[in-house]
Amino acid sequence: MSNLKDRYLKQVDVEEVLLDASNILAFNRARMEGKRELPIHRYSILVVGGLFFMIATVFWGKIFFLQVVSGEEYRVIAERNSVDKALIIAERGVIYDRRGEMLIWNEVDESGEYDFPIRAYTNRSGLGQVLGYVSYPKKDNRGFFFRTEYLGRSGAELAFDETLRGKNGNKIVQVDALGAVIGEFAIDATTSGGPVTLSIDAELSEAMYNIIATSSIQAGFRSGAGAIMNIHTGEILALTSFPSFDPEVMADGDDITLINEYNNDDRLPFLNKVIGGAYAPGSIVKPFLAYAALENNIISPEKIIVSDGYILVPNPYNPSNPSRFNDWRVQGPMTMREAIAFSSNVYFYTIGGGFGDQPGLGITKMAENYRRFGMGSLTGVNLAEEQIGVVPDPAWKKKVFDDDWRLGDTYFTAIGQFGFLTTPIQMLRAYAAIANGGYLVTPHAEFGKQGEIQNINIDQNKMKVIHEGMRKTVNYNGGTARALERKDVAIAAKSGTAEVGVGNAYVNSWAAGFWPYEAPEYAFILMMDKAPRSNALGATRIMGEVFGWMSVHRPEYLGIEKNDITVE
């Protein structure tokens, strides 16, 4: 049996192959019947088994690594790849001017850099400091917001940030295995920011800016600024500061070259000079001194004082070398009204510090009265950071210079010099108080809002003298604001020139006042900064061009009908 088994399992002899076929069963050869199979060799089985084991080991090792070693990490990634909770940035509110013109609005970023609305700003010139700009929400390098709000940086964007800022929302984002978004579902809707309507007339502000810019180039002024305010409500009708900047450039932050030019410009384009610039006021403080002198019975408004072009104050330590205080021209005899109109330094030296037989108000009462009208204090306007300014007095001089107060200091303070610094907005509010009967109104830029009012108790009869003097400044021969005389509206004004710089080589030029004279509604201020002394173009002529523009384009502000327009 064993031999037979070995015979059939191990080998087949030739003779057996040649056996007579007739003795073999009939098999279906096509279906492999009658064929004998030999067993697979053990070595082959071991090789194949080994290969399968190695492959299984690799697969199980990878599964272990993915599921156990890095399971948590890949689980988080998988969840994020499929469903994510994303922030929806709310739209910021739109800003309009008083006439309904859109000044700031929102747009879709066509470049694809931002996936939230971007701010768009008007192309009108001279509104940079008024409107301000924002910084956008920011993402980290993984695409997550670390700053989720627009940040108002200056101007109206900062002043009204609470109103303009919306409430962000959330959404669920669904993506496929390749990261493509296949669906979005809002779960917390956004709330858009509220609109803001400014009291500013954008076109008027632009016109004032262009006039200031052209005049600055023509006359060599370094910069300039101007504003117009409703004397009863404090609403700022126009406000501009030259030079300005493009808010959109600052919000986008991409034009590094231009931003560096802004930063390195010594004319300070980011400074709102109406609110944040402090300058020597010069002669525009004289009406306030005149009123204080009347209120304190220092002088009658009809008393005549003569200016020969200067006064000499004896020097007790050196009689041969008296102190000389100059007028800007020989004025001759004048009452208070003419003194205001002519802007006589001698007259105001005399009633401020005293001279000859005429007593003076003195520095203490003088400084108190300046402060009474808001000089040397913040106005409360919210469009920019304010400067407080300086009203000189003995305590200030002692603190700053460690020196005693002298008569000459009183004289110079009487004409708005000697360390005297005010902001244009302070002087605008002060002139509004002259015009409205003695009420300090808080300036603001919100349409329809009533500013806070402080009664400073003015004697209306005495203030009438100041009004008359300011009217003479415009319509009287020799008046220093003759450039503001018009047939269509009566303006009361005061000019001012302040010497600045080393050796008083430069001057600041001011124009201030109100209109209409008979029933005042608006006050104005215009300041031109640092022109050569030889310059003949003053702020009153520049402001006259602004009135000329208004007479054509905004006659309603002048109280005139369009068919009564007079072009001058």
Q: How confident is the model at residue 422 (pLDDT cuts 50, 70, 90)?
A: very high
Q: Select, from the ranges 53-67, 179-193, 241-255, the one with the highest average predicted confidence (pLDDT).
A: 241-255
3-state secondary structure of 496: strand
On whether residue 43 sits in a domain, the answer given is no
Worst-scoring range by mean pLDDT, 9-13, 157-161, 209-213, 423-427?
Answer: 9-13
CB contact at 8 A, 196 and 102 = no
Does 161 share its domain with 218? no
Q: Select, from the ranges 16-30, 161-175, 322-336, the one with the highest average predicted confidence (pLDDT).
A: 322-336
**What whole-number distance in Å separates Cα of residue 146 and Cα of residue 126?**
33
pLDDT for res 567 = 47
State the residue range of the domain holding 250: 202-536
Residue 271 confidence (pLDDT) above 60: yes
Tokens of 428: 């605008």
- Residue that wins the pLDDT comparison between 32 and 268: 268
Does 170 share its domain with 206? no
pLDDT for res 35 = 57
Q: How confident is the model at residue 312 (pLDDT cuts 50, 70, 90)?
A: very high
Q: Give per-residue pLDDT as tens, 289-298.
A: 999 999 999 9
Residue 1 DSSP code: -
Does 252 share its domain with 379? yes
DSSP conformation letters of 204-273: HHHHHHHHHHHHHHHHT-SEEEEEEEETTT-BEEEEEEES---HHHHHH---HHHHHHHHH-TT-TTS-H
Does 371 share its domain with 495? yes
On whether residue 363 sits in a domain, the answer given is yes
Does 287 share its domain with 327? yes
Q: Give per-residue pLDDT as tens, 5-42.
A: 555 455 555 555 554 555 555 555 554 555 555 666 77
Map 52-120 to HEC letters.
HHHHHHHHHHHHHHHHHHCHHHHHHHHHHHHEEEEEECCCCCCEECCCCCEEEEEECCCCCCCCCCEEE
Count of domains observed in the chain: 3
Does 161 share its domain with 220? no
Phi-psi region of 217 (alpha: psi -120 to 50; beta: other; left: phi over 0): alpha
Structural domain ending residue among the three candidates 168, 197, 226: 197
On whether residue 565 sits in a domain, the answer given is no
Structural domain ending residue among the three candidates 178, 197, 216: 197
On whether residue 548 sits in a domain, the answer given is no
Mean pLDDT of 183-195: 80
Q: Give per-residue pLDDT as tens, 501-559.
A: 777 788 899 999 999 999 999 999 999 998 887 777 899 999 999 999 999 999 999 99
Does 114 share its domain with 171? yes
Mean pLDDT of 188-211: 96
Worst-scoring range by mean pLDDT, 48-57, 196-205, 403-412, 462-471?
Answer: 48-57
Does 132 share its domain with 275? no
Worst-scoring range by mean pLDDT, 60-64, 68-72, 324-328?
Answer: 68-72
CB contact at 8 A, 277 and 271 = yes
Site of tokens 């600024």: 225
Mean pLDDT of 307-313: 95
Q: Does residue 314 have a cis peptide bond before it, meaning omega lies within 30 degrees of 0?
A: no
On whether residue 557 sits in a domain, the answer given is no
Q: Do β-strands 95-96 and 196-197 pair in parallel, antiparallel, or remain unpaired?
A: parallel
Rounded to 10°, the helix 424-436/460-475 angle is 120
pLDDT for res 192 = 94
What is the CATH classification number for the domain harbouring 191? 3.90.1310.10
CB contact at 8 A, 158 and 92 = no
Mean pLDDT of 231-253: 97
What type of residue is 194? G
Does 383 share its domain with 464? yes
pTM score, whole prediction: 0.83
Q: How confident is the model at residue 561 (pLDDT cuts 50, 70, 90)?
A: confident
3-state secondary structure of 542: helix
- Residue that wins the pLDDT comparison between 362 and 499: 362
Does 363 share its domain with 411? yes
Does 96 share its domain with 122? yes
pLDDT for res 141 = 85
What is the CATH classification number for the domain harbouring 524? 3.40.710.10
Residue 1 confidence (pLDDT) above 70: no
On whether residue 420 sits in a domain, the answer given is yes
Average pLDDT of every residue of the chain: 89
3-state secondary structure of 159: helix
Does 170 share its domain with 233? no
pLDDT for res 14 = 52
CB contact at 8 A, 125 and 247 = no
**What whole-number distance in Å separates Cα of residue 454 and Cα of residue 535?**
39
On whether residue 65 sits in a domain, the answer given is no
Mean pLDDT of 455-476: 98
On whether residue 408 sits in a domain, the answer given is yes
